[in-house]
Structures are given as structure tokens and as C-alpha cells.
Amino acid sequence: MAKKIKLAFIGAGGIARGAHMPPLQKMDDVEVVAIADVSEEAARQAADLFEGKPKVYSDYRDMLKNEKLDAVDICTPNLYHKQPTIDALKAGLHVIVEKPIAMNAKEAKAMVQAARENNRKLMVAQCQRFRPDVQLLKKMIDAGELGEIYYARVWALRRRGVPAWGVFIEKDKQGGGPMIDLGVHMLDMALYLMGHPKPVAVSGQCYTKFGNRKGIFNPWGEWDPAKYTVEDYAAGFVRFENGATLSIEASFVANIRKDEFNVTLLGTEGGSDMDPFRIYTERHQRVIVEEPTMLPQVNTYEAELKEFFAAIREDRDPLVTGEQALMTQLILDGVYESSEKGKEILIKA
Ligand SMILES: NC(=O)c1ccc[n+]([C@@H]2O[C@H](COP(=O)([O-])OP(=O)(O)OC[C@H]3O[C@@H](n4cnc5c(N)ncnc54)[C@H](O)[C@@H]3O)[C@@H](O)[C@H]2O)c1
């Protein structure tokens, strides 16, 4: 058997324990040797999930110094993506970091540069790309079945869904609200499917109409309105160098019929929706709806981790690169900056 990859975690909260760690318990070519979290309690609880009982650290820098590692999985709040990533890359480790890559594009650029300078892999955990419907649609698009894709409509909308835990409502720790937290998932999916066209201009508007009010119904519990410094709804419009455009909406709270997470693509030979998954075409001058069925069940977190390890073993780029995530982040930054300045922002990548 190939040598085991020695992995450590930085951040052992909800996504680490709930999504990344369970599939790792079953992977026999990877060993989780250490876990760092500023909350030692969180790190200890995470360590209890593994038979080998990884070592626990409250400062990740001590862990990087003391442990012999190949890679780290960074699952901290957005504010703590950049520095641990750069420190780990400089220590010669490969990095998978949770989405969004960072708080903003300036941080993302520094991370991408550190990966290049140290010749290590930097993957961003955009789990949605690994969905079987997304993978099938990507194959269809790459085979030219949708023709030229000229427009994408992207939604990540919650009717009432403010995360009442963690730091998701604090701009200085997250970089933004639903646009950066939820929008990034569907935006990444759309850009991947479109073949990563280069964004050249972004327009956007953010609103905080509920977050700073008391008494708004929220099935996930109460939040502190005084701490709420992010938007609760944002809309954006993106122009790409190849002439394609994309509109995006994201919300934690909005007076809409229901939650909706979707990407609609318009192509010259076909269109598509992700929810429900449908392809729209025309044949023999008749319009046709195709509905793929019997797609495999995929644990997207397991799939993304396996891709990261495969990229390390095969010494190739992972499916989600730091460079791609930087472009996504430039769009997100553009939405926020455009909202602040009240005008379209030109992207200089
Ligand atoms: N892919 C997905 O579907 C998905 C879902 C949820 C969250 N996320 C992402 O995962 C990240 C973490 O979110 P979460 O829901 O797990 O948050 P969380 O608050 O549950 O956990 C974060 C953990 O990081 C620890 N931490 C904070 N600062 C640290 C530091 N400097 N060093 C080490 N540990 C530190 C905290 O103590 C906490 O245990 C965010 O970037 C979020 O966007 C992704």
C-alpha cells in the first residue's frame, strides 16, 4: 500500500466534525495525526472521533512545528483561512481550505502566491462541484451539448435561515453575509460549468433589512441584532470577457416563497436547471425536457477529500484550484464594493 498521507486539522468545529472527519475515519491511506483548535475542548472532542487519538493543540503553529505532516485541512472561520494556509504552505504542507477561500481577494492572492512559491497544492473545499448532477452536466457541456453558454442565473436564497451560531453574522470575521457564505457555493458551481470565463465587471447591491431587527422568526434560533454587521440579501450582475453574463442572488432572510438554491444556464443548443435537474433542448423543431435519473449517491465531502489526496499522490492540480477560487472571490468582492460605491466595478485580475 502507498505511504499514508499524514493529515492534521486546523479548526475542529461544525464542518470539520460533521462533514470532513466522518469519511476520514474510513480512509486507510490517510492518517489524522493532529488537531488544532483555539478551543481545546473542540479539538479534544474531534480527536475522540479517531481510533488513533490524534494529538491535540490549542495553537496550530505549535502543531506545525512539532508534527511530521504532509497536509492540513483548514476548517476555521473565514478570518482564519489566510494565515494558517500560508504558514502551512511555508512549512511545506499541502492545504485544503474550506470555502470561501478567504475574506477577500487580497488575502486569496497571498494564499495562491504562497502555494506557487512553495510548490504545494492549494485546494478549496467547494463540495458542490462533486455532486453527480453537476459532474454529469459538466460532461455534457464539455461535449458541446449545450452549445455556447451565454447566461447564468444563480440563486442561494434562504427565506428564514440566519446561522445563530459561530461568527456568520460578523463582517469582520466572515468578510460578508449570505453572498460570501452561500452565494460562493452556487457561484463556484456556475463558473465551473461555464469553464471559468474571466470576469471583467461586477455590479451589486446589498441590503440589511432584517438582521439588525429583533423578533424576526428564525428556525435556527435567535441571533444578536447588535452583532449583525453583514447583509441579509445581496444581488449581483457579472460581465465576462467572452461576452457571457451572470446574475446572482443570496439571502439569509427574504420574504420569498421558499428556500431556493439553483443554477440556470442558457446555452445556444440547450439550457439547464440544477433543482430540479433538467436539460432543455430542441430537436426536430420540438422542445424537449430531459430529466436524468438513477444518478449515484455521492458524499461530496468524501469526494472532495479524495480528490485532494489524489492530487497530492499524482502530483497534479486538484479539481478546485486556488486560482479559480481567487477569481470567484474577485466577483464576491466586486458585489460588496459595487454596493458600497453605488457603481459598477471593473475587475483587474
Ligand atoms: N462546505 C460547506 O458546506 C460548509 C458548511 C459550513 C461551513 N463551511 C465553512 O467552514 C468554515 C468553518 O465553519 P464551521 O461551520 O465549521 O464554523 P464553527 O464555528 O462551527 O467552527 C470553527 C472552528 O474553528 C475554531 N477556530 C477559530 N479560530 C481558530 C484559529 N485561529 N485556529 C484554530 N481554530 C480556530 C473554532 O474554535 C471552531 O471550533 C467556514 O469557512 C465556513 O464557510 C463550509
Nearest CA to ligand 1 atom 23: 13
Q: What is the pLDDT of residues 238-247, one digit of tens each?
A: 999 999 999 9
82 lines ligand 1 (CB under 6 A): no
Q: How sure is the predictor about 349, in pLDDT bands with cuts at 50, 70 and 90? A: confident
- pLDDT of 2 reads 77
1 pLDDT higher than 70: no
Instruction: At 114, give phi and psi (nearest 5°).
Output: -65, -40
- pLDDT of 348 reads 85
Cell numbers for 85, please give them. Answer: 494556509
Q: Are residues 232 and 339 in the same domain?
A: yes
Domain edge (last residue) among 103, 126, 149: 126
- pLDDT of 32 reads 98
In testing the pocket of ligand 1, which one of 39, 49, 76 has its CB within 8 Å of the most ligand atoms? 76
The number of the ligand 1 atom at minimal distance from the alpha carbon of 125 is: 1
Cell numbers for 243, please give them. Answer: 461576452
Domain edge (last residue) among 126, 143, 166: 126
Q: What is the pLDDT of residues 9-35, one digit of tens each?
A: 999 999 999 999 999 999 999 999 999
259: CA distance to ligand 1 center in Å? 23
**Inter-residue contact 231 to 176 (CB < 8 Å):** yes
Q: What is the pLDDT of residues 128-158, one digit of tens each?
A: 999 999 999 999 999 999 999 999 999 999 9
Q: What is the span of the domain harbouring residue 78? A: 5-126
The number of the ligand 1 atom at minimal distance from the alpha carbon of 43 is: 39
Instruction: Give how many domains the chain has, as a whole number.
Output: 2
Q: Are residues 173 and 247 in the same domain?
A: yes
Percent of the chain topping pLDDT 70:
100
Answer yes or no: is 338 within a domain.
Answer: yes
Domain edge (last residue) among 126, 152, 180: 126
Q: How sure is the predictor about 161, in pLDDT bands with cuts at 50, 70 and 90? A: very high
Q: Are residues 121 and 153 in the same domain?
A: no
Mean pLDDT rounded to a whole number for the chain:
97
73: CA distance to ligand 1 center in Å? 11
8: CA distance to ligand 1 center in Å? 15
